[in-house]
Structure formats: structure tokens, C-alpha cells
Chain A
Amino acid sequence: MQRATLDLWVGIFVVAGIAALLFLALKVGNMSGFDSATSYMVKAEFDNIGGLKPRAPIKSAGVVVGRVSNIGFDAKTYAATVSMKIDSRYRFPKDTGASIMTSGLLGEQYIALEAGGDSKMLAEGDTLKLTQSAVVLENLIGQFLAGKADGEAKSTGPAKAEKGI
């Protein structure tokens, strides 16, 4: 009798532990990670990736369709090569463009895909041709200042200089 109640308590304890883990897995975390079996790998070269990190989301029309799996450096072209895993439920045309965007003013950086019009679809190992680098704030400020100085030299006033951004 003594052993039976003890077994019952241990059983309840283990079930509660499994329930807590399930709660963490399903309600708190996102179990639905992209597996290599259900995704395909695409590469893209960027001149500058800014603050992009591995596992950053890849979005198309704002919906997450994949994740960045690896970031490397090509010593021949001096460009960053970004490998992306895209969920195989979503197929994109061959001339899809990739650009690095920032969510919000100070948010994480992600890759936005814009579908092209090609009839052929991207396959495993393809490289995206149309890429747009991350916007680097320092360059932006530099361009703005250069444009402003240029505008003042031509004495066209500050109104036109703002187009230099």
C-alpha cells in the first residue's frame, strides 16, 4: 500500500514535468522550425550585409518564409555570401530579388525577397542575382552631408540638397 501511493506521486510528478516541457515547447517556444528535409538552400551575394546574423528571418510580403543559415566571405569578389534556407512550400521565380532591411528603427535585420516574373523557379543551390545591400547609417549621413555641401556650392538652397539622400 505504501509503495503504491509513492508510485502514484512519482507518476504525477513525471507527468507534470512532461506537461511543463510540452507547455514550454508549444505555447512558449516555436516548435515549427524549418527542417532541412522540407527546405531548399539558396545563396545570394551582398556588398554589405550590415548587422545581418545567422538565423535572421527571410520575409516575403512580411511573412517569414525561411531563415539565414550561414554567412561567409568570398575572398575573390570581396562580397558577403549569405546562404538561406527557404521553406519548400514556397517557390520563388529565378529573378527574385533579395534586399537587407531593418524591422523598425533599431530592430533586427532581415532579408526581404521580392518575387520576379520569371517562369522558372529557384532550385536547391541557386544564386540570387538581384541583391541590395544593407543601408549603413554612416554612409547615409555622409551622402547627405556631401549632397548638402554640393548644393551650397551651387547656391541652389537647402531644399534641393535634401534630394541628395
Chain B
Amino acid sequence: MMHSLLLSLRGIGAHVIDGVWRLGLAMRFFSMTLLHSGQSFRRFHLIIREIFSSGVLSLIIILVSGLFVGMVLGLQGYETLRTYGSEEALGILVALSLVRELGPVVAALLFASRAGSAITAEIGLMKATEQLAAMEMMAVDPIARVVAPRFWGAVISMPILAALFSAMGILGGYLVGVMLIGIDSGAFWSQMQAAVDFREDILNGVLKSFVFGIAVTVIALFEGYDAPPTAEGVSRATTRTVVTSSLAILGLDFILTAFMFRGV
């Protein structure tokens, strides 16, 4: 009894120490990436290729899910607003919830599972097949050549994807609210325009997606770079990327929302 209690306590301690150790390593990795990004900006075609693989290839999932999220918001919002007789406020509800919260957060969650996992798997496999070690042998810094372009490609893609998600969602809300249910189109847009502020709502949403992009990409890159060089290690690192970055997105979202929209 005493022995098993002691063992579980030791397990918790080892977990915590391991977590702190990995956090420090990730921070060092992040600062190394930032230090080497100057070199990768001089070879911009590398970044463009990464924008293609993490941004353009995520476009379909982002656009389709944005449309459906907006359509669901339209239906659900209408049902609730109807009980107060203020169906025209549907535009405000759809636009504010997308631009402030759902656009950045859901786009980042999708991005983490679509592009983040791909980044982890790619870098993990590069490490497992000793391509990174081979680069070092040829005096090519793998952080400058492999990691930094992926970082900037994903960080540039993320706000664009979030903006596209919000725009598609509002279009979806318009489709359901105006085309399907029959809310007045003028009231839908004018109430939305009166309530949504460019600086307070839209720019804060873009800022959020930028922060999420940094968090997801750093986690994905670090998990790949730190993965044990085995098939099992790469698969576990990929899973961890999705889990950790989803939790990081939701946690950061709370902090950012508390700072941005306190109402005073």
C-alpha cells in the first residue's frame, strides 16, 4: 500500500519534471528558430513552398467548415432570437461570434490537426531517417533550412485562413438567415455593420489567430524535432501535437479574450 503510493507519487514528480524540462527545451528551440529566420527570409521560395503545404492545402477544410459553422449559427441563432422577436439581430450574432471567437479558434483547431500534424510527422520522419543529421554533416543548419521556413509559412498562413473562415461563416449565416429563413437582407447587413467594429473586433480576431498560429507551429515543430526516431515515436509525437496545441489554443483564447473584450 505504502509502496504503491510512493511509486505513484514518484511517477507524478517525474511527469512534472519532464514537462518543465521539455518546456525549457521548447523555449530554447523557439528562440533558435527566431534567430535563424533571417536566413530563411533571404531564401523566400522555401517559405512560399511551406505556405503552399500548410496554407493552400488547408484551404478546402477551412472554407467548407467555415460555411457549415456559419449556417449552423444562422439556424440556432434564429431559433433563440425569435423568442425575443429580434430576428434582425441574427447578423450581429453571426458576425460577432465568428469574428471574435469561432473564426480564430476553430480555424486554429483545424489548422492544428491538418497542418500541425503534417509538420510533426514530416520533421519526425526526417529525424528518424537521419536526414537532419545528414544536413548537419554537410554544414547545413537544419533549423535554418527545415524548421524556420516551416515556422514562417505556417505563421503567415494562419491569419489568412482565419479571415477566410470568418468570411465564409458570415456568408453561410447570410445563406441560411436571408435566403432560407427570409430575414430582411438590409437589416441583416446594416445591424451587423453597426455592431462590428473594425479595430475592436476584426483586428483583435486577426491578432488572436496570429498568436494561435505561433503556438500551434512551435508545438508542431518542437514535437517533430524532439520525437524519438522510431515509427512509434513519430506517431506518438503527431498525436501529442494535436492534443497539446488544441489545449494551448483554448487556454490562450481565454487569456486573450480576458485582455481584449473585458467591456470596460
Contact = CB atoms under 8 A, between A and B. Distances in A.
Contact of A29 (B56, B164, B197, B264): B197
Interface residues of A, number: 23
B202 interface: yes
Contacts of A12: 56
Interface in B14-70: 45, 48-49, 51-52, 55-56, 59
Contact of A20 (B157, B164, B192, B193): B164
Contacts of A14: 51, 160
Contacts of B56: 9-10, 12-13
B197 A33 contact: yes
Given A24-B99, A29-B202, A10 B160 contact: no
Consensus secondary structure, chain B interface: helix
Contacts, number: 75
Contacts of A3: 45
Contact of B51 (A13, A20, A24, A31): A13
B170 interface: yes
Nearest to A31: B198
B202 A25 contact: yes
A28 B49 contact: no
Nearest to A106: B84
B166 A29 contact: no
A25 B199 CA distance: 9
Interface in B190-210: 192-194, 196-199, 201-202, 206
Interface residues of B, number: 32
Nearest to A14: B160
A10 B192 contact: no
Interface in A5-43: 6-7, 9-10, 12-14, 16-17, 20-21, 23-25, 27-31, 33
B237 interface: no
Contact of A21 (B55, B163, B192, B201): B163
A164 interface: no
B36 to A, nearest CB: 22
A13 B160 contact: yes
Contacts of A125: none
A158 interface: no
B202 A28 contact: yes
A72 to B, nearest CB: 13
A157 interface: no
A17 B163 contact: yes
A54 B167 CA distance: 28
Nearest to B103: A24
B160 A30 contact: no
A29 B196 contact: yes
Closest 4 CB pairs of A and B: A17-B160, A20-B167, A20-B163, A29-B196
Interface of A: 3, 6-7, 9-10, 12-14, 16-17, 20-21, 23-25, 27-31, 33, 53-54
